[in-house]
Amino acid sequence: LLQSAGDEALLSGTTSPPHTSSMALAPLEDAPGVDISHDQDGGLFKELVTEGDASSGSPPVGSKVKVHYVGTLLDGSKFDSSRDRPGFFEFKVGVGQVIKGWDQGICTMKKGEVCTLTCRHDYAYGESGHPPKIPAGATLKFEVELFGWKEERKQKWELDEAGKQATAAELKEKGTAALKAGSNDEAYELYVDAASYVEGESAEPARALLLSCQLNAAAAALKLKEWALAEAAAGKALAVEPASVKALYRRGTA
């Protein structure tokens, strides 16, 4: 959750509110799950609700994650939920954009995982809380579902021609792996990202790579039954190669 309250309010800020006492805090009692705090100080517990896909690992520090969450007090009363609003909640993890409990906890999750994070006040909103929704010194619980993440990459303008093609090729390869694994939504996003690095490039290898990425994006969108996305990707492929049979077929199928 962000540091200051509402999704953007409750989950925005830079660092967790400081704990003002010099005395060590008592570990949480009867918290479900296991202590996953970096310091093993009993302030952050995680209980697995639904296992995720371990094959892609966990989001690295600095990656942009996509989640849904429901936040409750220990008495079960809900103070916030991203599921009550359109779209996912997205932020960079591990860099202080959210509370300490999230920065540490979400970096242990797998794609598709659902877990409950129990955060002592120093892993949440500190001794002051965030009135009126979050009382002073409150321990909070969050049910979090991790839908995916994107790792931080250099922007297109930071790369030379070879770097753009290399980045596009790497993303395309990841997209193909995701497509073969049945992760069609992830594959589509990776193909679109790959294409963005070589769009507008005139070199023949870049144009060939762009055509391949757009064709693959169209194929992934068809699997998702996202007809408009499939038609758009096929249209972009035809802009590169007007005679492409695959592009014509995929546009027609959409």
Q: Which is the catalytic residue, given 7, 45, 89, 99?
A: 99
Contact 18, 126 (CB under 8 A): yes
Q: Which is the catalytic residue, given 89, 123, 142, 191?
A: 142
Asked if 99 is an active-site residue, the reply is: yes
Asked if 79 is an active-site residue, the reply is: yes
Q: CA–CA separation, 10 vs 4, rounded Å?
A: 5
Q: CA–CA separation, 8 vs 3, rounded Å?
A: 9
Show the DSSP H helices in the chain as ranges: 7-10, 100-105, 161-180, 184-198, 204-223, 227-240, 245-253
Asked if 142 is an active-site residue, the reply is: yes
Q: Which is the catalytic residue, given 45, 69, 91, 191?
A: 69
Q: Which is the catalytic residue, given 79, 188, 191, 197?
A: 79
Q: Which is the catalytic residue, given 125, 188, 191, 197?
A: 125
Q: Which is the catalytic residue, given 7, 45, 80, 134?
A: 80
Q: CA–CA separation, 106 vs 101, rounded Å?
A: 8
Asked if 185 is an active-site residue, the reply is: no
> Residue 76: phi, psi to the nearest 5?
90, -5
Please give the positions annotated as active site.
69, 79-80, 99, 125, 142
